[in-house]
Structure 1
């Protein structure tokens, strides 16, 4: 029995609970269909007990779920039981940060929108270090370095084969903020220009001239799963990542990101725009 299930294990249980509730069954009734006790169903749905892909398909059949793509996507969530690189930080960093790395590892596509700073997956080491040095309350120097190394390791999803596709929407304000001074900012902007030249990455800039735009008050990080029902929204809060996965929430942030993209420059226009800012430093 697990005592500290990961975010992915919790999400698997959540999706099975959604299927059960959609079928109008209680955990006790679901257990009877499976020839098991209600406690097993409850523990599976809470992420405390493991479940095989075949049992997921059996439960989905009992729940009269006809969405084969969803059932297979949920069944696939049971297959990867290897320890990811993030597990080496298990006793060092908050569990929610490890869940974020696990989410990115399994995502089919990532979309992010920020207004004040460059997204974590696109930060240079010096830029990330300056961000963590400004944390409240102050982080001890070793903790700063742990968070910096963790953030840089998260970027492996952009370099693996095949790399994870990423759409980035950045407001001009984030590009002009001089975290760490002109030298650090200059290196950061050059890194963004380099990354924007990669086929799987599209960086869009919203210039000041665009005026008001949707979602201006928060950063949004959207991870697409193998099917839309398994998408996840991550909101970066001062106390750590917050994950959202209800259909209403997913729909809201899909629309927000689409509107942000519509307000932004194209990747080609954004490339030229960043060059212009770089010349001002």
Structure 2
């Protein structure tokens, strides 16, 4: 198969992990190429995600690099083969690439941990709430751009309602429950929707109350996506310029700690539901 100039995030991540294995073994790309019987340029393109690689090739590379972590090798081989055309590909011409990559990451994740300070998580939003948020973008989206992004966001939510959905844990600050995006009726419907979803066995919603004091990570949205192997976890951060994706082990460890410390000050799920119901009744 010919190389591609536009690898998706999953292809790039496979290449990154193969490069990490090579570097851990102490081999240069030229030395690795010689041992694998490949040209150095081919190894570089594989590591950049630009050249397809088979499961057998990945196992050969892992043996060459003296990798003994069979679980990791199995997870990497599962990422090989032809590029899967998921539903998110329908939006590639209409939305930024990072939103397409995020949907694909969510599709393959075995668990999701999310924390937000002043927003309801995207996967838990009602269409009216999501539309009201999208209307606040700077610079403003055109009407058709809002509808493309809204449709994409609603399609992303299907990951929580499929057979064998990933475990989903959301940490939400109390402020997010009280901001009335779209007006009172939209806000009430959003709280009712959030309350109903929190009853699902695979969805955990916990609120950080106003009176909890300080905590790390406040003011920053964190989306931690657990891969099929811990080495393949990814952190996605929302920024004003788009999404940032992090995969270095030190970064992953940092954000696991942040989420753990945020959970330590959050209300338990039952108390969270009580607070949501209380706010809903007061409106």
Band the TM-score falls in, shorter-chain normalisation = over 0.9
* Cα deviation, residue 71, structure 1: 1.0
Indicate the SS of the match to 2:10.
helix
Q: 1:211 aligns with which of 210, 213, 237?
A: 213
Structure 2 equivalent of residue 174 of structure 1: 176
Structure 1 equivalent of residue 143 of structure 2: 141
Aligned 8 A contact 2:52 2:82 in 1: no
Once the two structures are superposed, residues 173-199 of structure 1 have per-residue CA deviations (whole angstroms, 9 ceiling, x without a partner) of 011011111111100000000100100
Q: 2:61 aligns with which of 59, 62, 72?
A: 59
Task: Tell whether 2:219 aligns with 1:227.
Answer: no
Superposition RMSD on alpha carbons, in Å?
0.8
Q: 2:257 aligns with which of 250, 255, 258?
A: 255
Structure 2 equivalent of residue 118 of structure 1: 120
Aligned 8 A contact 2:53 2:81 in 1: no
How many residues align? The count is: 281
Indicate the SS of the match to 1:242.
strand
Structure 2 equivalent of residue 11 of structure 1: 13
* Cα deviation, residue 214, structure 1: 1.4
1:72-91 counterparts in 2 under 5 A?
72-79=74-81, 81-91=83-93
* Cα deviation, residue 80, structure 1: 6.5
Aligned 8 A contact 2:9 2:101 in 1: yes
TM-score, normalization: structure 1?
A: 0.99
Structure 1: 4+ residue segments shifted above 4 A: none
TM-score, normalization: structure 2?
A: 0.98
Structure 2 equivalent of residue 156 of structure 1: 158
* Cα deviation, residue 148, structure 1: 0.4
Distance 2:43 2:117 in 1: 43
Where does structure 1 lack aligned partners over 5 or more consecutive residues? none
Structure 1 equivalent of residue 240 of structure 2: 238
* Cα deviation, residue 217, structure 1: 2.2
* Cα deviation, residue 213, structure 1: 1.1
Where does structure 2 lack aligned partners over 5 or more consecutive residues? none
Aligned 8 A contact 2:119 2:176 in 1: yes
* Cα deviation, residue 81, structure 1: 3.2
